Structure 1
Amino acid sequence: MANQISSTNQETTSFSVELVSGPTARGGVDDFELSHARRALARLKALLGRQGLLNLLAKEIEEGNAFLRGKAKMSNGEFKSATTVLAVRGIKAAQFVRWLEHNFSNESVLLAAEPEHYVIAPNPNFTVTVVENLGPYICHVRLPAYDKAARLSAEGINELLPESEYPFRRLADLSLPDGTVVGRVLTQFGDTDQGFNANLTCYFPVACPEDIFEHHRQHLAVEFRNWIVAAAAAQR
């Protein structure tokens, strides 16, 4: 006799945890956790130091750079773009750009903007070494110092916005230490009545999977939001 399997509908009960009392600081549990996580991460990075982090991540960096090099070769110089847009109130584009230019050699400020920033260090040749996640990969890339990035013409850049509306525009190649170009970053800032808009575009080889582009859309949102918050605090 065959086994008979019967199923019944079961009611699902929603689950939640509510903070009723205790902490006197503003915010909720998520805010407290984020603050504590940032403090712990900053402490660990400081204790390891720049070279300690590079040593610790050496194998992952080798694998990540090999991934990017392979995708660049497969793509034959063709890139795909992904864009993140932030709307800012209470600070103007020129104020933010001046703050970023002033702080682009301040590694502690740059590292604090994104948990997956491991090294951001200036080089003698006016480039900046960046070690960060691109999707699941940790990569070591180089880009021009912020004030050395290219002033733009409209030729060949579909994502370029009108200069009259976005006068603060920079384009920087992302290269591996061996010189292989593996991407670009285009930043465009333009004032609004309330503040400014930040239009942030990343380019990676077209052979890269979608999760690389989606991760970097998120990455740009996190790091520029935090830099803008820091710039606004500096104005006060």
Structure 2
Amino acid sequence: MTANQTSQPVTVTLASEPAGANSIDDFELFYARRAVARFRARLGRQGLLDLLAADIEEGNAALRESARTSDGGFTGGTTVLATRGLTSGEFLGWMNKAFADESVLLAAHPEHYTITNQEDGTVHVVENVGAHVASFYLGGWGEEAMTWAADAEEVLPEAEFPHKQATNLFLADGTIIGRVLIQFGDTEEGFTSSLSVYLPTTCPEDVLEGHLQHFAIEFRNWITAAAAARG
């Protein structure tokens, strides 16, 4: 180590940055989101699907194989978010309307490629599941999905988390590649979101962890968008 080197981690900040001001990370996030929005708009939904066709085929094949080798078994994980200044009812009311606007749904995560309502009531999603780009459907909301969710270890008391939704994630051929259980309960300051995902047991651990991070990003952005709409 030379005389002018230290063992401390290297950090770079704005020398003139006052407390509470936007950081360089904030600047980068703004411009990254703007770039992603531009590419989405220029390519369009079908253009994105065409561009990602090979990635989707590879990702779906990997998840299908995980489902086959897991023989119906799933491993779960949960992301918990704490929100202040907004109630769960306000958020869910906004969210129900947001599902009619694909642009709002896509804006919540850079790896959202298409989220479209289908005539049969399912939702077609193309997004990353871990490192895999996958094309799948959300379906089985309500009583059908809650049949399996009722026995999940992650189910929270109804009195504290009265808002619950559960669904299966399945490929076009019907293969179930995952499940989701989301639960919301109000607190004195706002509400808590308990966001659980279940993937086939043979999926690598980083795939599950990646989707838990995905949850944190998209739901934070949806919650802040709901708050902004209310204001």
Measured against aligned partners, the alpha-carbon deviations of 1:20-42 in whole angstroms (never above 9, x if no partner) come to 349xx940111111000001100
- Residue 225 of structure 1 aligns with which residue? 220
Q: Do 2:124 and 2:137's aligned partners in 1 also have CA atoms closer than 8 Å?
A: yes
- Residue 150 of structure 1 aligns with which residue? 142
> CA-atom RMSD, angstroms?
1.9
Q: SS in structure 2 opposite 1:193?
A: coil
In 2, Cα distance between the equivalents of 1:110 and 1:18?
A: 32
Letter in 2 for 1:113: A
Are residue 69 (structure 1) and residue 64 (structure 2) matched?
A: yes
- Residue 117 of structure 2 aligns with which residue? 122
In 2, Cα distance between the equivalents of 1:87 and 1:17?
A: 29
Pairwise CA distance, 1:59: 0.4
- Residue 104 of structure 1 aligns with which residue? 99
Q: Do 2:183 and 2:194's aligned partners in 1 also have CA atoms closer than 8 Å?
A: yes
Q: SS in structure 2 opposite 1:187?
A: strand
Pairwise CA distance, 1:150: 1.5
Aligned residue pairs: how many? Answer: 224
Letter in 2 for 1:193: E
Letter in 1 for 2:230: Q
Q: Which structure is larger by alpha-carbon Rg, 1 or 2?
A: 1
In 2, Cα distance between the equivalents of 1:140 and 1:192?
A: 36
Q: 1:175 aligns with which of 165, 170, 178?
A: 170
- Residue 31 of structure 2 aligns with which residue? 36
Measured against aligned partners, the alpha-carbon deviations of 1:61-117 in whole angstroms (never above 9, x if no partner) come to 000000010000000111010100000000000111111111112110000001111
How high is the sequence identity, in percent, across the aligned residues? Answer: 51
Q: SS in structure 2 opposite 1:73?
A: helix
TM-score (norm. length: structure 2): 0.92
Structure 1 unaligned segments of length 5 or more: list them: 1-8
Pairwise CA distance, 1:155: 3.5
Q: Where in structure 1 do 4 or more consecutive aligned residues deviate above 3 Å?
A: 9-12, 151-155
Pairwise CA distance, 1:18: 2.8
In 2, Cα distance between the equivalents of 1:88 and 1:65?
A: 34
Letter in 2 for 1:38: R
TM-score (norm. length: structure 1): 0.90
Structure 2 unaligned segments of length 5 or more: list them: none
Q: SS in structure 1 opposite 2:13?
A: coil
In 1, Cα distance between the equivalents of 2:86 and 2:11?
A: 37
